[in-house]
Amino acid sequence: MLKKEEIIQNIAELKKEKNAIVLAHYYQESEVQDVADFVGDSLVLAQWAAKTTADVIVLCGVHFMGETAKILSPEKRVFIPDMKAGCSLADSCPADAFEAFVKAHPDHTVISYVNTTAAVKALTDIVVTSTNAKLIVDSLPKDEKIIFGPDRNLGGYINRLTGRNMLLWDGSCHVHDRFSVKRINELKKIHPSALVLAHPECPGSLLQLADHVGSTSSILQFATRSDNDKFIVVTEPGILHQMRLANPGKVFIPAPPADSTTDDCNECAFMKLNTLEKVYQCLDNESPEIFVDEALRVKAVKPIERMLEISAKHGL
């Protein structure tokens, strides 16, 4: 069995040899983030996938992230370290049921979160991430009828922020939906000076008590710019790695899920399927590889490109 240092060395050599780039989401294990060329939120990962000149992309994240990279860069080979790294939110929106919902509301513009399959994106007018969802909804006329899927928590949050009444798909992320007001209030009692930072995939009742609501990159940025030195972090705890690297003097407390009896943090089991060893294996074996049917890709790329265009126009 190879030592960790040897694996890291092999990954570096294979990246050079294959002109490969390793992109990692903030929810990845720290050691996976540390071998990545870029670490970012779901918007940044899509932007990098669209513009990289590498021949090979290893997307350390979940399946829809690898699929989005392949949709944007079909000429590149895209690998993910573990093909079983799915997403409960994407799973909560099967394409056939979503298609029936869209067909039942033909006068609605369809906005889908990036946490969806290519088949759902192909039914969509504009894709969003948690970084740009408000901005993209705001870019549409006030009276435009909108379907928002699949995350009911993010959709409800955007409805409250914008005063809209978008029709929401009833999906959620099993990680963020497990956080509770009760557990956060318990933590706040123990750490009264801590600010609460929450991801908009959390339930609305919890978002109301947060000091800052935002995407992973926004949570990281808020903590880095803040004068406060203690934070309760209500999202997947992989983000703590970059928060601690950027803020060595500050304290970050991961929020536990509602149903745990301990202070366990709330990890995404899908994200955590990827390991350093699997990053090496997938670069070495060139597998598992993401493929997207070309007819489907041509449909799915349009709403992603629309998202990237609107985001770029607003400096994102």
Strand spans (E) along 223-295: 230-234, 251-254
Q: Which of 268, 290, 301, 307 binds ligand SF4 (CB under 6 A)?
A: 268
Residue numbers 8-67 binding ligand 13P by CB under 6 A: 41-42
88 binds, among ligand SF4, ligand 13P, none (CB under 5 to 8 A by kind): ligand SF4
* 175 binds ligand SF4, rule: CB under 6 A: yes
* 29 binds ligand SF4, rule: CB under 6 A: no
Give whichever of 73 and 236 is closer to ligand SF4, judged by the CB atom: 236
Q: Which of 87, 239, 279, 310 binds ligand SF4 (CB under 6 A)?
A: 87
Q: What are phi and psi of 286, to 5 degrees?
A: 55, 50
In the Cβ-directed half-sphere of 106, how many Cα atoms lie within 13 Å?
Answer: 1
Round to whole Å and give the CA distance between 213 and 207.
7
DSSP annotation of 125: S
Round to whole Å and give the CA distance between 258 and 92.
21
Burial class (CB in 10 A: 0-12, 13-18, 19+), 104: exposed
Round to whole Å and give the CA distance between 4 and 39.
20
Q: Are the C-beta atoms of residues 79 and 57 closer than 8 Å to each other?
A: yes
Point out which span in 15-23, 137-145, 171-179, 254-262 binds ligand SF4 (CB under 6 A): 171-179
* 82 binds ligand SF4, rule: CB under 6 A: no
Look at residues 22, 44, 50 and name the one whose alpha carbon lies nearest to residue 301.
Answer: 50
DSSP, collapsed to helix, strand or coil, labels residue 234 as strand
216 binds, among ligand SF4, ligand 13P, none (CB under 5 to 8 A by kind): ligand 13P
Give whichever of 79 and 270 is closer to ligand 13P, judged by the CB atom: 270
Nearest-approach distance from CB 5 to ligand SF4, in angstroms: 29
Residue 199 tokens read as: 């991801």
270 binds, among ligand SF4, ligand 13P, none (CB under 5 to 8 A by kind): ligand SF4
Site mask, ligand 13P, residues 112-141, x = CB under 6 A? ---x-------------xxx----------
Nearest-approach distance from CB 25 to ligand 13P, in angstroms: 6
Round to whole Å and give the CA distance between 142 and 147.
14
Write out the residues near ligand SF4 by the rule CB under 6 A: 62, 87-89, 115, 173-175, 236, 268, 270-271
Write out the residues near ligand 13P by the rule CB under 6 A: 41-42, 115, 129-131, 173, 201, 215-216
